Amino acid sequence: MEKQNWLKEAEETLVRYCGDFSPILIEKANGAYIYTKDGRGILDFTSGQMCSVYGHNHEKIMQAIRNATEESIHLLSTMLSPSVIELSKQLSDLLPNGLDKCLFVNTGSESNEIAIRMAKLSSGGFEVIGFLGSWHGMTAGAQSSTYSYTRKGYGPAIPGNLSIPAPYSYRCPIKHCKNKCDNTCLEVGMAMIDKQSVGALAACIVEPILSAAGIVELSPEYFKRLKELCDERGIYLILDEAQTGLGRLGSNFGFELLETSPNFLTLSKTLGGGLPLAATITSKEIEEDCYSKGFINITSHISDPLPAKVGLAMIDVFINEKMAEKAEKQGNYLKKQLLELQNKYECIGDIRGKGLLLGVEIVKDRESREPNIDLGHRISETCLKLGLSMNIVRIKGMGGVFRIAPPLTITKKEIDLGIEILDNAIRESLN
């Protein structure tokens, strides 16, 4: 199809930072919908970039922005505002002992960068362990621990980065088990780390559910064993909850489902509700140790008042509108509907995830589990044409995996509509 004029104009002046731009131009967004210039509504099963967790343009978020513009938007980095202090207090109150000290920046990349820097400074080491298939950001340290398709072509990563296989039981990375991980991949992975390490292990960074890897879940047993193995080696455990914090999994935070607390917790996407806000949270002991060693991390928009004001509004909505309960209830309903589609279509190989962060893997058939990436692309494109935005993760060796993450405010009626469109898109794409 010939490109529309607006897209031609965009490509004249914009860097194409993620392949091709979407073929639709969005003028506004509200709730679970995004709208094109001609007024066409598209149901958003991605919550933007998984950030508008309580829906697009939630009124309390909009009001927080308006209030912030009457007070202060930006300050010198060493200056604090009441909203930053209050946000740190409210977050700490939601978290267990050992996650007591907060630092606020803009993006998930930055929050992970800070956790890695603090872990290196406090431990005296520099080696960082990450999962194959992980995504922790695009800044140097975070990207060096990101083992996805963003690594190639940019030269060497930061020295000291090591990887272990993720517990992806649908396609066991060490070809040992099928459908239920027994932690052998973890034991093998850490044994390999011991052989590779130069004796300077500092941190291990993981996600409760590896989203960009195709919705790969960690079990409580796996995470507890990982924490034990890290503790044995003096390694700080960093839990990246960019997509899983503030209710999306049906709990306040993902680590609660894993029944073990990390040494560092990083929050981003779900904390800002569509605005750039991220946090690195750690213990008083680690913070005191880093402070005594001269820790410094200055960025232009660290501790900015406006996003902190939005963060307070997000916590207000989270608590008072019982968002974790909504995610659990609506997530169970959505998963049930997806399982019914799986019974209908052989191309749906696996459905996984928790709450309102679900994955649907597209294959040629369930017996061989052979990836069917082309079909996944066709389904995605057809969904968009029919009025549903679906994010497809494309990873070598896997079928297209739909990463389904609608707003936690989504209604049963909207879920039904999304399933109806997906059903039609699969049927049309198979013909």
Residues 96-142: pLDDT tens digits? 999 999 999 999 999 999 999 999 999 999 999 999 999 999 999 99
Q: Is residue 14 classed as helix, strand or coil in its secondary structure?
A: coil
Whole-number pLDDT of residue 400: 84
pLDDT higher than threshold 80 for residue 397:
no
Q: Is residue 421 classed as helix, strand or coil in its secondary structure?
A: helix
pLDDT higher than threshold 60 for residue 151:
yes
Instruction: Yes or no: say if 418 and 388 are a contact pair by the CB < 8 Å rule.
Output: yes
How far is the C-alpha of 275 from the C-alpha of 65, rounded, in Å? Answer: 10
Model confidence at 395, pLDDT cuts 50, 70, 90, reads: low
pLDDT higher than threshold 70 for residue 2:
no
pLDDT higher than threshold 90 for residue 148:
no
Question: How confident is the model over 1-15, as a mean pLDDT?
Answer: 88
Residues 194-248 pLDDT 10s: 999 999 999 999 999 999 999 999 999 999 999 999 999 999 999 999 999 999 9
pLDDT higher than threshold 60 for residue 399:
no
Whole-number pLDDT of residue 1: 47
Active site positions, annotated? 135, 207, 240, 243, 269, 403
pLDDT higher than threshold 90 for residue 262:
yes
Residues 48-78 pLDDT 10s: 999 999 999 999 999 999 999 999 999 999 9
Q: Is residue 136 classed as helix, strand or coil in its secondary structure?
A: coil
Average pLDDT over all residues of the chain: 95
Which residue pairs, CB below 8 angstroms and at least 24 apart, start in 425-430?
A: 425/379, 425/382, 425/383, 425/386, 425/388, 426/341, 426/345, 426/347, 426/348, 426/379, 428/382, 429/375, 429/378, 429/379, 429/382, 430/345, 430/347, 430/375
Q: Token match 């009124």: residue?
A: 59
What domains are defined for the chain?
5-54+322-430 (3.90.1150.10), 61-320 (3.40.640.10)
Quote the pTM value.
0.96
Whole-number pLDDT of residue 37: 86
